Structure 1
Amino acid sequence: MSATPWYIKGILYVALPAACIAALYLSIPGEVALARTAGWSEHYAPAMPVCLSVYALSAGAIATYRRKMELPGQVTALVGSLMALLLAMSAQSISHLIEQDYMGSSALLVVAVSCVPPLTIAHLVHMAETPSAVRTASQVVADLERENQGLKTAVVAAETENVLSHARGVLTGLGEVSQVTGELLEWAEGETESLDEELERAEKVLKPRNAPLELTAEMIEKTRKTLAAEGKRPTVERVCTALGISQASYYRYREPVTA
């Protein structure tokens, strides 16, 4: 925040008070003359400028203060300040009109001017009275707490909405993942069925070499002779290895040895 320029400070602290003092000083003759016209003596008439001008200044200041502090009685203070200005302006105008012989005094004028002091006192006392609805410190704290609670509620609601939005996004992502997973499972099941079919076909084509129905004693004897022709000793182990059978199958299907 920038500092207040020096000339603005000069207006606030010098020019404004000087203008107010000058205005009050200029209003003194007319208001004193009006008081004399209404019947006040030389001793009391000079109090009329204080009554009207200071009353207008006080009412305006109080009205401004109550508006800034949000205090009750703003309307009556504003009305009082306007009435005080009207009275001060009327006093000057009527005094000058009487002085210049444009009008003369009357009973109505005397009554109106005579009512100014008591009305001024009544309204100033009313404005000076501490309003019953003035907020105490505890009430201010309570109001701040309510505002703070409202802000917290708004923040929580916003955060909740963000979390829900994020959760909806996560659920949507999970749904997509679930769909992809289902497709992968279907593909895996299809591949498994294909593999099972391939295995079945392979089992049909590639039968075990040690199947008992295909093994004969002639095959065992032929393998023994082949090993002997190759210069290898036709032991049971070598014959079983060559045929891919177990020794139990060998002894089951080989020709009995004759004496």
Structure 2
Amino acid sequence: MPWYIKAVLRIALPAACLAALYLSIPGEVALAKTAGWSEHYAPAMPICLSVYALAAGAISGFRRKMRLPGEKTALIGGVMALALAMGAQSISHLIEQSYMAGSAALTVAVSCIPPLVIAHLIHMAETPAVVRTASEELEELREVSQSLMTELVASESAALASHTRLVLRELGAATNNVSELNEETEELNERLEEALGEEEAMATEEQGKTQKKRLSIARSIEGARESLAAQGKKATVARVCETLGISSATYYRYYQPKTDTSSEGMLSFSVG
């Protein structure tokens, strides 16, 4: 059961019932006073009608559930209690708003409410229960068990057949999904191979460009060093960087002369 339904049953219904009982108090008390009850006894009229209605409704529901006699009389009592409560409210307000005045018939009718309520409550309390023999109870129990067994077998068979059809449908759908998944996997593999080939080609091309760039910068540095040496100047790192307009980090990154003293070794350099 959802939480909001539980909240309605546990909070909203009792709150509405209490509010309705509270609202019915003034009219029923005023009607009781109109019928002649004093200030001391008049407040008992709402209690009389409200408890009577609750008792009649509860007894009627219980007897219907347990298949006991007296269900109809209890239901009639509940309806009468509601009719009396509504009539009391209406008549009380009509008198209060000067639409009607009290009368001997009204006084007699209101005065008869407590005895009638007591009489009907006693009748519901004294209604005998159904007396059945053990054989009758066993026979009824046997019929109920057979009926339940038949319904259970039928429902289980229907549920099993429905479940089997559902499993077959799901199995067919799963087979189709597997086939589609295999096709998608093959297509994805092909795309992945193409993408990897393109990335490798791009990486190779980029690596070639990088090597050419490093080779060009290294040659420029070597040329600057030779130019400074031809001018009789010492080819320091600062002068080479100033001549080429590069930083010292770029110089050391792209120019790493070997320690070889030969002419070939002096002109060689490594890129890395």
TM-score, length of structure 2 as denominator length: 0.51
Alpha-carbon separation, structure 1, partners of 2:107 and 2:116:
15
Please give the residue correspondences for 1:38-187 in structure 2 after superposition, counting only pairs within 5 Å. 38-133=35-130, 140-148=137-145
Aligned CA distance change for structure 1 residues 43 and 139 (closer, same or farther; 3 Å) = farther
1:14 corresponding residue in structure 2: 11
Contact 2:94 2:100 in 1 (8 A): yes
Query: CA offsets, 1:162-199, max 9 Å, x none?
Result: xxxxxxxxxxxxxxxxxxxxxxxxxxxxxxxxxxxxxx
Q: What CA RMSD, in Å, does the superposition of the two structures yield over aligned residues?
A: 2.4
Equivalent residue letter for 2:31: L
TM-fit CA distance, 1:131: 2.2
Alpha-carbon separation, structure 2, partners of 1:27 and 1:80:
19
Contact 2:30 2:92 in 1 (8 A): yes
Give aligned pairs, total: 150
Aligned CA distance change for structure 1 residues 134 and 36 (closer, same or farther; 3 Å) = farther
Please give the residue correspondences for 1:238-257 in structure 2 after superposition, counting only pairs within 5 Å. none
Identify which range, 92-101 or 120-129, moves more after superposition: 120-129
Please give the residue correspondences for 1:154-233 in structure 2 after superposition, counting only pairs within 5 Å. none
- The structure with more helix, counted as a fraction of residues: 2
Corresponding residue to 1:34 among 31, 36, 45: 31
Contact 1:72 1:133 in 2 (8 A): yes
Contact 1:72 1:134 in 2 (8 A): no
TM-fit CA distance, 1:133: 1.8
TM-fit CA distance, 1:65: 1.6
Equivalent residue letter for 1:51: C
Equivalent residue letter for 2:87: S
Alpha-carbon separation, structure 1, partners of 2:36 and 2:42:
9
Query: CA offsets, 1:27-50, max 9 Å, x none?
Result: 000000000000000000000000
TM-fit CA distance, 1:12: 0.6
TM-fit CA distance, 1:101: 0.5
Larger relative contact order (CA 8 Å, sep ≥ 6)? 1
TM-fit CA distance, 1:137: 7.9
Contact 2:68 2:129 in 1 (8 A): no
TM-fit CA distance, 1:142: 4.3
Aligned CA distance change for structure 1 residues 8 and 151 (closer, same or farther; 3 Å) = closer
Alpha-carbon separation, structure 2, partners of 1:144 and 1:40:
54
Fraction of identical pairs, as percent:
72
Query: CA offsets, 1:203-243, max 9 Å, x none?
Result: xxxxxxxxxxxxxxxxxxxxxxxxxxxxxxxxxxxxxxxxx
Alpha-carbon separation, structure 2, partners of 1:151 and 1:32:
53
**Ranges in structure 1 where 5+ consecutive residues have no aligned partner:** 153-259
Contact 1:35 1:48 in 2 (8 A): yes
TM-fit CA distance, 1:136: 8.1
TM-score, length of structure 1 as denominator length: 0.53
TM-fit CA distance, 1:143: 1.8
Alpha-carbon separation, structure 2, partners of 1:56 and 1:151:
36
Equivalent residue letter for 2:90: S
Alpha-carbon separation, structure 2, partners of 1:134 and 1:97:
49
TM-fit CA distance, 1:139: 5.3
Query: CA offsets, 1:8-36, max 9 Å, x none?
Result: 11111111011110100000000000000
**Ranges in structure 2 where 5+ consecutive residues have no aligned partner:** 150-272
SS of the equivalent of 1:51 reads: helix
TM-fit CA distance, 1:126: 1.2
